Structure 1
Amino acid sequence: MENYIIAYDIRDDRRRLKIYKTLKDYAVPVQYSVFECSLRKEEYLMLRYKLEKLIRKDEDSIVFYRQCPRCAERVERLGTSRDPFGDGVFIVTAAED
């Protein structure tokens, strides 16, 4: 399993809704147009395939940010942003100068 952050910018409202619904089958929305997920290789390939069929490559953009395990552990969340995979426990650390 690998963790991903997926962000999208879709021009057309109908396409955007289809993209959103497709992503909800695989990932958790954490911001407008931003999802987080943990996927097996097969799931990732299937999701990419489905999304590629939905977008217009000359107008739309979808970006997959793969997170290494160390990076995933270092994610900091502020405000109402919740960890979609966590147990509800938040650890807040002071930022280093």
Structure 2
Amino acid sequence: MLNLDIKRQLFLCCYDISDTERRDRVCSIVKSFAIGGQYSCYECFLSRSEYQMLRRMLNAFSESDDSIVLQPVLSNKAIKCLGVAAPPVNLGFTYIG
């Protein structure tokens, strides 16, 4: 039986990469996991396996002078959004494919 109760954790993925080609590649990878964000900072709800996959992918494309941060956001604290930002929503989806 397939277990559809996958625990997800909210992460912020931020990066500062000077090389345009590498930055575009990292941006594409992060956006494929993201639920929202802008410029060089994205919100990602990740399961444990998705987190590990994203880490492996980012490690494969990053160089020693790149800065990439994948920071968990504590779920027991209220998220405060400033400006026009909307709070992230955990859609509770499962992708099989």
- In structure 1, the residue matched to 2:39 is 32
Q: Quote the Cα distance in structure 1 between the aligned partners of 2:88 and 2:73.
A: 15
- Superposition TM-score, scaled by structure 1 size: 0.77
Count of residues in Structure 1 that have an aligned counterpart in Structure 2: 84
Q: Quote the Cα distance in structure 2 between the aligned partners of 1:61 and 1:55.
A: 8
Amino acid at match of 1:43: E
**CA shift for structure 1 position 36:** 0.5
Structure 1 residues 43 and 69 mapped into 2: Cα distance closer, same or farther (>3 Å)? same
- In structure 1, the residue matched to 2:95 is none
Partners of 1:30 and 1:81 within 8 A in 2:
no
- In structure 2, the residue matched to 1:83 is 87
* Aligned counterpart in structure 2 of residue 64 of structure 1, from 43, 58, 70: 70
Amino acid at match of 1:14: E
CA RMSD of aligned residues (A): 1.7
- Long gaps (5+) in structure 2: 1-7, 92-97
- Long gaps (5+) in structure 1: 88-97
Partners of 1:36 and 1:84 within 8 A in 2:
yes
- Percent of residue pairs identical: 32
- In structure 1, the residue matched to 2:14 is 7
- In structure 1, the residue matched to 2:54 is 47
**CA shift for structure 1 position 7:** 0.8
Q: Quote the Cα distance in structure 2 between the aligned partners of 1:29 and 1:11.
A: 22
Q: Describe the SS at the equivalent of 1:56.
A: coil
**CA shift for structure 1 position 31:** 3.0
